């Protein structure tokens, strides 16, 4: 599944976008003059202190917010056109599964909404359950599953309809280190198998470095990008890669980027 550089097409391109929220206490500049290009098949992590606009940027890509200035295009369309074409699988920090539907029923939900035929639905549900390592849990209800399993189910739901772009906003934020490691591995595996473009928000430097082909460091007030780091790490990444000098150097770079935006002081 190695891709050569020249087949990579830019899918998401942001040019000088700004996004200002008008609030009761005056305008909040969530994003200011942000430019970024994301290629087909990239795994892009967004990292930065709280309030720097990571969520806002992801939501703007998914057409859940509209930039107040600049142009944002997704596969040559506006984000909203891309949304109508069902280009996005969005994963939130909380699983947000319907308690009245089984896991399979939850994964089936977007498929029903998009009008997939029943046999096709069943096939897809089985496939994505397998992909997130939940085969055999389709008939269970969300409350019968652990938090980590629920989060995997919500990822399966986002994968089921084969959106080209997977956007994940701190999907593993609420999970413990060990579960997180496992899910990170599973996510990388899944990314290699499907070749999707992934946008991933995290607060963890090791997580960002481990997963990404591109790490975007942001800083707040106003929200902007301070550094874009292209990862030299290979696409095949065992967990042990985190002990290599390349990995540690990369993590160091990210940490410097964060400090540059005088973030955690």
Partner 1 sequence: MTEAVARGNGGVNPTLRALPILTVLLAIVVVWYGAAVWMNAPWVRDQAARAETTLTTGDLIRQTLTLERPVLPAPHQVAAGLWEGIAGQKITSKRSLVWHGWVTLSATLAGFAIGTVAGILLAVGIVHNRAMDQSVMPWAVASQTVPILAIAPMVIVVFASMGVTGLLPKAIIAAWLSFFPVLVGMVKGLRTPDAMQLDLMHSWNASRAQQFWRLRLPSSLPYLFASLKVAIAAALVGTIVGELPAGATAGLGARLLSGSYYGQTVQIWSALFAAAILAAVLVMLIGALERLTLRRMGLAR
Binding site for ligand ATP (CB under 6 A): 21, 23, 28, 30, 50-56, 223
Using CA atoms, how far residue 13 sits from 7, 84, 186, 193, in Å, is 17, 18, 27, 24
Give the integer Cα–Cα distance in Å for 190 and 40: 15
Phi/psi class of residue 256: alpha, beta or left (left: φ > 0; alpha: ψ in -120 to 50)?
alpha
Determine the interface stretch with partner 1 among 136-144, 182-190, 233-241, 253-261 (rule: CB under 8 A): 136-144
Residue identified by tokens 């770079």 is 253
- Selection from ligand ATP, partner 1, Mg ion, none that 109 binds (CB < 5 to 8 A by kind) is partner 1
Is residue 232 near partner 1 by the rule CB under 8 A?
no
Provide, rounded to whole angstroms, the least separation between the CB of residue 102 and ligand ATP: 31
Give the HSE-up count for residue 96: Cα atoms under 13 Å, Cβ half-sphere: 12
Smallest distance, ligand ATP to C-beta of residue 101, A: 28
Applying CB under 5 A, the residues found at the interface with Mg ion are 55
Burial of 174 (0-12, 13-18, 19+ CB in 10 A): middle
The tokens for 43 are 């795994």
CB 183 within 8 A of CB 148: yes
Confirm or reject binding of residue 142 to partner 1 (CB under 8 A). yes
CB of residue 180 vs ligand ATP: minimum separation in angstroms? 17
Rounded CA separation 97/106 (Å): 6
Rounded CA-CA distance 138/134 in Å is: 7
264 binds partner 1 (CB under 8 A): no
Q: CA angle at residue 208 from 161 to 89, to 5 degrees?
A: 15
Which one among 57, 161, 172, 200 touches partner 1, defined by CB under 8 A? 161
112 binds partner 1 (CB under 8 A): yes
Is 27 near partner 1 (CB under 8 A)?
no
In the list partner 1, ligand ATP, Mg ion, none, the entry touching 98 (Cβ below 5 to 8 angstroms by class) is partner 1
Toward ligand ATP, which CB reaches closer, 82 or 201?
A: 201
CA–CA distance, 5 with 7 (Å, rounded to integer): 6
Q: Residue 168 class from Cβ within 10 Å (0-12 exposed, 13-18 middle, 19+ buried)? A: buried
Among 22, 143, 245, 264, binds partner 1 (CB under 8 A): 143
Question: Using CB distances below 5 to 8 A depending on partner kind, what does residue 166 bind out of partner 1, ligand ATP, Mg ion, none?
Answer: none
Site size toward partner 1 (CB under 8 A) is 26
Residue 17 or residue 30: which is nearer to ligand ATP going by CB? 30
Q: How far is CA 84 from the centre of its chain?
A: 19
Residues 43-82 that bind partner 1 (CB under 8 A): 59, 62-64
Interface residues with partner 1 (CB under 8 A)?
59, 62-64, 83-84, 86, 88-90, 92, 94, 96, 98-100, 109-110, 112-114, 141-144, 161
């Amino acid at each position: 599944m190695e891709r050569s550089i020249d087949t990579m097409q830019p899918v998401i391109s942001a040019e000088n976008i700004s996004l200002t929220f008008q609030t009761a206490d005056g305008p909040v500049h969530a994003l200011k003059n942000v430019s970024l290009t994301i290629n087909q098949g990239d795994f892009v992590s967004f990292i930065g202190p709280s309030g720097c606009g990571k969520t806002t940027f992801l939501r703007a890509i998914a057409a859940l917010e509209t930039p107040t200035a600049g142009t944002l295009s997704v596969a040559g369309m506006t984000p909203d056109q891309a949304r109508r074409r069902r280009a996005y699988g969005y994963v939130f920090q909380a699983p947000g599964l319907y308690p009245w539907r089984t896991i399979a029923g939850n994964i089936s939900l977007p498929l029903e909404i998009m009008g997939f035929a029943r046999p096709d639905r069943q096939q897809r549900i089985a496939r994505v359950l397998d992909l997130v390592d939940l085969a055999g849990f389709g008939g269970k209800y969300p409350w019968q599953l652990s938090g980590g399993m629920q989060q995997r189910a919500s990822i399966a739901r986002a994968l089921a309809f084969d959106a080209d772009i997977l956007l994940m906003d701190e999907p593993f934020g609420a999970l413990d280190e060990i579960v997180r490691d496992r899910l990170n591995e599973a996510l990388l595996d899944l990314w290699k198998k499907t070749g999707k473009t992934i946008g991933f928000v995290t607060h963890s430097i090791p997580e960002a470095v481990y997963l990404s082909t591109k790490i975007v460091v942001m800083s707040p007030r106003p929200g902007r990008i301070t550094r874009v780091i292209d990862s030299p790490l290979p696409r095949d990444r065992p967990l042990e890669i985190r002990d290599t000098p390349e990995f540690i150097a990369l993590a160091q770079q990210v940490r410097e980027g964060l400090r540059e935006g005088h973030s955690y002081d």
